[in-house]
């Protein structure tokens, strides 16, 4: 999730910010297993360390340098997010099952109409500089996110419901959010990595000081350069295993891999290894590969405003025309889960097991009903991500029998998300999974949303999402979110072939590595005893 300095849509959010969303999928730490039907699984990550980490030591992480303007301000689109989970806490966080859990908030409750949310904070929590954490810090942090000058990626999500005046400190340990509209899922929106809490009044300095309440304290930080954090022995959540974490910035992917193989680093941050590289790592003496299961959602946006895909019959014809098993195998060597054109990952609590399957006759029939005997269209792709081009090529070969001709157009990675994305009728794209259901469906599919990459517009979907937000009964709200998935699938809103596992290079000397909620477990990770 490197910031490629892409031009933000509407001048606010970068592509990197939206990729990040609010979290990553659950980590499978001990081995790599293919989850798709058929295909060859990646071999088990033999030699991956298990068991309890020893106390002490230094973890060396190589990270791709995002920008010389990167900052430790978690609200910023240029935040150096590898540091964030070590330095800061949120009000609430996600657990490995994707459920919202306490963090700085000990508990919370919502009103009967889901418009008033009251968070009761932990007591006795201190900042790294020794000052006490209070409700005013939370109020200030939310106001900082919402401040247009901050240009926070999460501002567009939260500002639909709150403004600076609607967040108040009832007392030193109580924060109240008064929403402009009901949202029974509001707490989940605060799990975003941009929603870490910072000290009251610290906006001008937080980018360099990194003062938080987290399990590590900042020792040093250089934008797009090296940095270091040290264990916070006063952390309310208990002491981390590691003494320190050292960060190095290595621009080139292969250079990061070479450093791992040579034992110069212990972990490669935010690099999805391709299949060939993963095999090299697995064969090495010093390193292995872990899989973040279903961490990346690969999609092929069809611009609904284009002449080619304005008709839902054509969109559904394309969805029925490809063979999911073949595409999964050819694009990611079977390391993933077939999505059946449902954009909600199967690990989500609101997931509906419903989708469109391969049906050659139906694909041909739908084209004929649309008044077409065949379809020829360009599909744009790039090397921005290692899977995008293989995905385009796999689709090209798979849909040919349906009379659909795809011409693959490779575009520059540097300009792909400014010149191609959301501009061409058909393109390849991807996101990181784990964002809350409310944010996923509203941000990416609601009519007029800035990040609706399919330009999809359906009043029935919008109404269903509004009803879900306003429904406080958990079972009924789940049904509504599942109704929304059915609308998207039935209308051919999105072409989603699969969710892919993210392959992570990690040293054999590291144990306790679990990754979820857009960070790994900073308390458990450590060196082999």
Q: What confidence tens digit (pLDDT) does each residue in 338-386 have?
A: 999 999 999 888 999 999 999 999 999 999 999 999 999 999 999 888 8
Confidence of residue 30 (pLDDT cuts 50, 70, 90): very low
Alpha-carbon span 94 to 518, nearest angstrom: 9
Confidence of residue 115 (pLDDT cuts 50, 70, 90): very high
Question: Measured in Å, how far apart are the chain's first and last C-alpha atoms?
Answer: 31
Classify residue 157: in a domain, yes or no: yes
Tell me the two tokens of residue 511: 């144990």
Determine phi and psi for 22, rounding to 5 degrees: -120, 0
Alpha-carbon span 290 to 443, nearest angstrom: 30
One domain for residues 366 and 494: yes
If you count DSSP H runs as helices and E runs as strands, how many of each does the chain have, helices first?
Answer: 15, 22
One domain for residues 327 and 437: yes
One domain for residues 357 and 480: yes
One domain for residues 82 and 207: yes
One domain for residues 197 and 308: no
One domain for residues 193 and 95: yes
Closest CA to 196 of 87, 69, 77, 78: 87
Determine phi and psi for 91, rounding to 5 degrees: -60, -45
DSSP three-state, residue 474:
helix
- Chain centroid offset of residue 447 CA: 22
DSSP three-state, residue 116:
strand
Residue with tokens 């790039």: 382
**CA-based R_g, the chain, Å:** 23
Confidence of residue 66 (pLDDT cuts 50, 70, 90): low
Closest CA to 178 of 113, 234, 129, 258: 113
Alpha-carbon span 183 to 178, nearest angstrom: 11
Q: What is the pLDDT of residue 354?
A: 97
Classify residue 3: in a domain, yes or no: no
The enclosing domain of 358 has a CATH number of 3.10.105.10
Classify residue 526: in a domain, yes or no: no
Q: What is the pLDDT of residues 466-481, one digit of tens each?
A: 999 999 999 999 999 9
Residues in the chain: 529
Q: What is the pLDDT of residue 50?
A: 73
Alpha-carbon span 274 to 316, nearest angstrom: 30
Q: What is the pLDDT of residue 8?
A: 31
| Percent of the chain residues topping a pLDDT of 90 | 74
Task: Choose one of 161, 195, 214: the last residue of a domain.
Answer: 214
Any bridge partners for residue 231, and if so which? 216
Task: Choose one of 214, 229, 254: the last residue of a domain.
Answer: 214
CB contact at 8 A, 190 and 182: no
Q: What is the pLDDT of residue 1?
A: 30
Alpha-carbon span 118 to 404, nearest angstrom: 54
One domain for residues 298 and 206: no
- Mean pLDDT of the residues in the chain: 88
Classify residue 181: in a domain, yes or no: yes
Q: Give, as one character, the DSSP assignment of residue 56.
A: -
Classify residue 28: in a domain, yes or no: no
CB contact at 8 A, 165 and 178: no
Determine phi and psi for 467, rounding to 5 degrees: -65, -40
The stretch 324-336 carries a mean pLDDT of 94
One domain for residues 182 and 299: no
Classify residue 174: in a domain, yes or no: yes
Sort residue 284 into left (φ over 0), alpha (ψ -120 to 50) or beta.
beta
Minimum mean pLDDT among 5-9, 29-33, 314-318, 434-438: which range? 5-9
Closest CA to 402 of 477, 343, 314, 303: 314
CB contact at 8 A, 71 and 7: no
Q: What is the pLDDT of residue 425?
A: 97
Give the count of beta carbons closer than 10 Å to the beta carbon of residue 10. Answer: 8
DSSP three-state, residue 470:
helix
Q: What is the pLDDT of residue 519?
A: 75
One domain for residues 340 and 470: yes
Alpha-carbon span 492 to 320, nearest angstrom: 10
| pLDDT of 403 higher than 70 | yes
Tell me the two tokens of residue 443: 């941000």
Q: What is the pLDDT of residue 9?
A: 32
**Full residue range of the structural domain in which residue 421 is found:** 294-501
| pLDDT of 138 higher than 50 | yes
Alpha-carbon span 174 to 170, nearest angstrom: 5
User: For residue 56, what are the CA distances in angstroms to 53, 87, 497, 523?
Assistant: 9, 18, 44, 12
Classify residue 466: in a domain, yes or no: yes
Q: What is the pLDDT of residue 276?
A: 86
Classify residue 147: in a domain, yes or no: yes
17 vs 46, residue with greater confidence: 17
Q: What is the pLDDT of residue 42?
A: 41
Closest CA to 497 of 323, 248, 372, 243: 323
| pLDDT of 291 higher than 60 | yes
Alpha-carbon span 469 to 473, nearest angstrom: 10
The stretch 284-302 carries a mean pLDDT of 91
The CA dihedral of 220, 224, 226, 230, to the nearest 10 degrees, is: 40
Tell me the two tokens of residue 490: 């039935």
Number of domains, the chain: 2
CB contact at 8 A, 197 and 141: yes
Task: Choose one of 167, 197, 214: the last residue of a domain.
Answer: 214
Q: What is the pLDDT of residue 46?
A: 36
Q: What is the pLDDT of residue 518?
A: 65
Q: What is the pLDDT of residue 167?
A: 97
One domain for residues 85 and 186: yes
**In 244-387, at which residue ranges do the beta strands (DSSP E only) sit?**
244-249, 267-268, 287-299, 336-338, 375-382
One domain for residues 354 and 491: yes
Confidence of residue 76 (pLDDT cuts 50, 70, 90): very high
CB contact at 8 A, 171 and 157: no
Q: What is the pLDDT of residues 224-234, one digit of tens each?
A: 899 999 999 99
One domain for residues 300 and 205: no
Minimum mean pLDDT among 211-225, 442-456, 470-484: which range? 442-456
| pLDDT of 219 higher than 90 | yes
Give the count of beta carbons closer than 10 Å to the beta carbon of residue 449. Answer: 18
The enclosing domain of 194 has a CATH number of 3.90.76.10
């Amino acid at each position: 999730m490197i910031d490629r300095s892409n031009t933000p849509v509407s001048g606010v959010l970068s592509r990197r910010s939206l990729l990040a969303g609010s979290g990553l999928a659950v980590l499978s730490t001990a081995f790599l297993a293919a989850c798709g039907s058929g295909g060859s699984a990646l071999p088990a990550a033999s030699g991956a360390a298990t068991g309890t980490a020893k106390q002490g030591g230094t973890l060396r992480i190589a990270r791709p340098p995002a920008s010389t303007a990167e900052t430790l301000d978690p609200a910023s689109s240029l935040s150096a997010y590898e540091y964030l989970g070590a330095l800061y806490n949120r009000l609430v966080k996600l657990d490995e099952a994707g459920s919202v859990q306490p963090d700085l908030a000990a508990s919370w409750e919502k009103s009967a109409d889901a418009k008033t949310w009251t968070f009761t904070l932990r007591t006795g929590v201190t900042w790294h500089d020794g000052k006490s954490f209070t409700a005013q810090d939370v109020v200030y942090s939310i106001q900082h996110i919402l401040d247009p000058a901050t240009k926070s990626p999460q501002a567009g999500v939260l500002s639909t419901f709150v403004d600076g005046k609607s967040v108040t400190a009832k007392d030193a340990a109580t924060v109240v959010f008064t929403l402009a509209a009901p949202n029974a899922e509001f707490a989940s929106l605060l799990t975003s990595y941009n929603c870490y809490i910072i000290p009251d009044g610290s906006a001008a300095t937080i980018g360099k000081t990194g003062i938080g309440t987290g399990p590590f304290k900042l020792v040093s930080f250089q934008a797009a350069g090296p940095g270091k954090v040290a264990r916070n022995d006063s952390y309310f959540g208990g002491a981390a295993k590691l003494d320190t974490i050292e960060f190095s910035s290595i621009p080139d992917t292969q250079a990061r891999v070479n450093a791992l193989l040579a034992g110069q680093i212990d972990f490669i941050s935010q690099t999805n290894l391709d299949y060939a590289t993963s095999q090299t790592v697995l064969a090495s003496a010093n390193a292995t590969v872990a899989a973040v299961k279903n961490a990346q959602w690969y999609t092929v946006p069809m611009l609904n405003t284009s002449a080619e895909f304005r008709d839902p019959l054509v969109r559904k014809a394309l969805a029925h025309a490809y063979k999911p098993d073949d595409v999964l195998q050819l694009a990611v060597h079977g390391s993933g889960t077939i999505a059946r054109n449902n954009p909600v990952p199967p690990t989500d609590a609101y997931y509906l097991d419903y989708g469109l399957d391969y049906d050659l006759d139906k694909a041909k029939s739908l084209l004929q009903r649309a008044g077409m005997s065949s379809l020829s269209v360009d599909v744009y792709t790039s090397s921005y991500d290692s899977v995008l081009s293989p995905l385009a090529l796999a689709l090209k070969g798979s849909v040919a029998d349906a009379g659909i001709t795809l011409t693959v157009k490779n575009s520059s990675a540097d300009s792909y998300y400014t010149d191609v994305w959301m501009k061409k009728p058909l393109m390849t794209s991807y996101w990181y999974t784990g964002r809350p259901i409310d944010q996923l469906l509203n941000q990416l599919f609601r009519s007029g949303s800035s990040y609706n990459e399919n330009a999809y517009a359906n009043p029935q979907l919008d109404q269903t999402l509004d009803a879900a937000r306003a429904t406080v009964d958990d079972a009924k709200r789940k049904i509504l979110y599942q109704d929304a998935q059915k609308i998207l699938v039935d209308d051919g809103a999105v072409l989603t072939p699969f969710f892919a596992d993210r392959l992570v290079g990690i040293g054999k000397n590291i144990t306790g590595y679990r990754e979820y909620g857009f960070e790994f477990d900073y308390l458990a990770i450590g060196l082999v005893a």
